[in-house]
Structures are given as C-alpha cells and as structure tokens.
C-alpha cells in the first residue's frame, strides 16, 4: 500500500495514481483502514512527515510501515519525471 500523507493543496500539484490518501493529522482516525499484514510505504513531499508517520505506525502495531525516502520529490526526480515537482 502506498500511503500519501500530504495536504490537499499538495495533492492537487502532484500525486501518484493508486495511492491511498490520508492526511498526516488524520492518521490516528484511520488506523482501522490500514493493513497490519502487508507493506505500507508512507510518502510526503520530502520524507520528513512520512518518516514520522511510519515511526508512529511501527510503534502502534504496523511493523511493515516504511518511509519513502525523499518523498514524492525524489520519486519525480528518479522514477517518474511526469510527476510535477514543487
């Protein structure tokens, strides 16, 4: 699962198709929506917020949550140049 924790204005600028979107501040409200038995790759703009969310999830019983290092900015630069950078 690719979990995008960015804000709506950021999503309007750049996104990855198929990602599940839950704002960082809303994560505690949606824990039941997240799988505990498969990988969760958490993403934000540069990776700081998503690292915090991945750590929060790991501590809360989601051992397969990992941070997408560099965030969507790195994704756009290294994987898919069609994704807008901001």
Using one digit for the tens of pLDDT, what is the confidence trace for 22-32?
999 999 999 99
Q: What is the CATH number of the domain that holds 40?
A: 3.40.250.10
Residue 66, domain extent: 2-78
| 42 found inside a domain | yes
Residue 84 lies in a domain: no
Return the pLDDT at 24: 98
pTM for this one?
A: 0.95
| Token pair listed for 17 | 């198709």
Q: Any bridge partners for residue 41, and if so which?
A: 2, 66
- State how many domains the chain has: 1
Q: Is residue 83 a part of any domain in this protein?
A: no
The pLDDT of 43-58, averaged and rounded, is 98
Nearest in space to 40 (alpha carbons), one of 18, 15, 68, 14: 68
pLDDT band at residue 84 under the 50/70/90 scheme: very high
User: Is 86 inside a domain boundary?
Assistant: no
Q: What pLDDT, on the 0 to 100 scale, is given for residue 39?
A: 98
Asked if residue 24 belongs to a domain, the reply is yes
Examine residue 63 and state whether it is found in any structural domain, yes or no: yes
Predicted confidence band at 75 (pLDDT cuts at 50, 70, 90)?
A: very high
- Rounded to an integer, what distance in angstroms lies between the CA atom of residue 45 and that of residue 68? 10
Cα separation of 15 and 24, whole Å?
Answer: 15
């Amino acid at each position: 699962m690719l979990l995008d924790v960015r804000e709506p204005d950021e999503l309007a600028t750049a996104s990855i198709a198929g990602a599940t979107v839950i704002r960082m501040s809303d994560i505690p409200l949606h824990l039941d929506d997240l799988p505990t038995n498969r990988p969760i790759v958490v993403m934000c703009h540069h990776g700081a917020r998503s690292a915090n969310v991945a750590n929060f999830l790991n501590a809360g019983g989601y051992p397969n949550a990992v941070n997408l290092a560099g965030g969507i900015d790195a994704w756009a630069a290294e994987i898919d140049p069609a994704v807008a950078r901001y």
